[in-house]
Amino acid sequence: MINNRIKFRHLQCFTEVVNQAGMGRAACNLSLTQPAVSRRIKELEEILDVQLLNRTNQGVFPTEAGQVFFEHVQRSLLSISEGINTLKENSSAREISLTIGIGLSINWEVLSQVINTIKNEFQNVKIRILRGYNGTIYSKEQIEDYDFFIGYINESEPHKELGYRKLHEDEIYLIARENHPLSDSNNVSMEDLKDFEMVLPSDHSEISNRISEIHEQMKDSATGITQSFSDEFSINYCEYSDAICIVKKSTLLGMEKPASVTILSNAILESGLDVALIWKSTPSQSNKEKRISRRFIELFDFHWSQTLQ
C-alpha cells in the first residue's frame, strides 16, 4: 500500500532532479527555489527511509535504490499523464467521424458487435456505413475515403499507405448438380466446360474480375453463358439443370437449405479471394483516433476469429 505521506510533488521533484542531474536545473524547470526542491527530496527520503540520491561535485545522481525507484515512478507519472490526456480527449466536444465500407457478402454481425463496443467505449463517435457490392464500393480511388474497409481484395492491388490484414481466403468453386456428367472427372478442363451451359456471376460479384479468361473462352460456345444476378440463384439453377456455375465457398456454406450440388475437381480456378480488413493510418490522426483504430482492429480480429471456429 502506498504511504499516504508521499505526495505528487515529492515524486515530481525526484524525477526532475534525476533527469536534470542537478537541484538547480530541476528547480528552474519546476519554477521552484533550489532549497524547496532539496526539502522535498529530503522529505521523500525520510518517508521511504532510504537514500535516493548521491550529491557529488559533478552533479546529483541516483543511488542503486534510487535508480530502481526512479524507473517505477517515471512509468507511473507517464501513465497518469496519459490518463489525463485520455480524459480530456474523451470529454472533448469534438466529434470523431468514421466511415466504414463493407461488402455485401461479408458477415454483417461481426461489424455490428464491433461498432456497438466502440460506441460504448468512446464518446462523440459518429459512424457512417456504406454497404454494397464489392465492385461498386471498393476501388483504389475509393479506399482513401474509408477509415475502415472489410471486403474481398485482389492480391495484386497495393496497400502501401494503408493498414492491411488478411482475414482469410474464400475459395472459388466450380459446381454442378449431383450425378452431373462431369462429377466423376478428375480434372475438368476448359474444353469440358464447352459442352455445358455456364452460369457466371454478375459484374458486381467479387469473382467477376477473376474469371475474365473463362468468360472470353466460353462466349462463342454452342451452349452459351448465363449471367446470374446472385450466387444463390446460380446454385439453385445448377441444382435443376446440367449447367455449371462458379461460386464462392462462403456462399455455398451459407445457404439456409444445403444445396444438392457437387464440387468439381479442376485446375481452372487456382486460387481464392482474399477477405481483408483495411484501415487508414496517417500521422495526422489524433491520439483518440489512433486509439479507436487500434481498438476497432482488436475487436474485429477477435469477433472474426470466432466465426471461423
88 by Cβ neighbours in 10 Å (0-12 / 13-18 / 19+) ranks as: exposed
Q: What single DSSP character describes residue 264? A: P
* 172-263 classified as CATH 3.40.190.10: yes
Q: At the topology level of CATH, where does 96-170+273-308 sit? A: D-Maltodextrin-Binding Protein; domain 2 (3.40.190)
* Residue 204 CB neighbours (<10 A): 14
Gyration radius (Cα) of the chain, Å: 31
Q: What single DSSP character describes residue 123? A: S
Domains 8-90 and 172-263 share a fold: no
Name, in order, each residue with C-beta under 8 angstroms of 242's C-beta and a sequence gap of 6 or more.
176, 177, 180, 181, 196, 197
For the CA atoms of 106, 110, 113, 116, what is the dihedral angle to 10 degrees?
-30
Domain positions in the chain:
8-90, 96-170+273-308, 172-263
Dump strand ranges (E) for the chain: 53-56, 59-62, 96-103, 125-132, 148-153, 162-170, 172-177, 198-200, 225-227, 244-248, 261-263, 273-280
- Whether 199 contacts 245, CB under 8 Å: yes
Q: Return the CATH number of the domain spanning residue range 8-90.
A: 1.10.10.10
Element (H, E) at 291: helix 287-308
pTM to 2 decimal places: 0.60
- Going by pLDDT thresholds of 50, 70 and 90, the confidence category of residue 160 is low
Cα gap 100→170, rounded to integer Å: 21
Q: Calculate mean pLDDT across residues 138-166.
A: 74
Residue-wise pLDDT for 11-66, tens only, equals 899 999 999 988 988 888 888 899 999 999 999 999 999 999 998 888 889 999 98
- Whether 226 contacts 220, CB under 8 Å: no
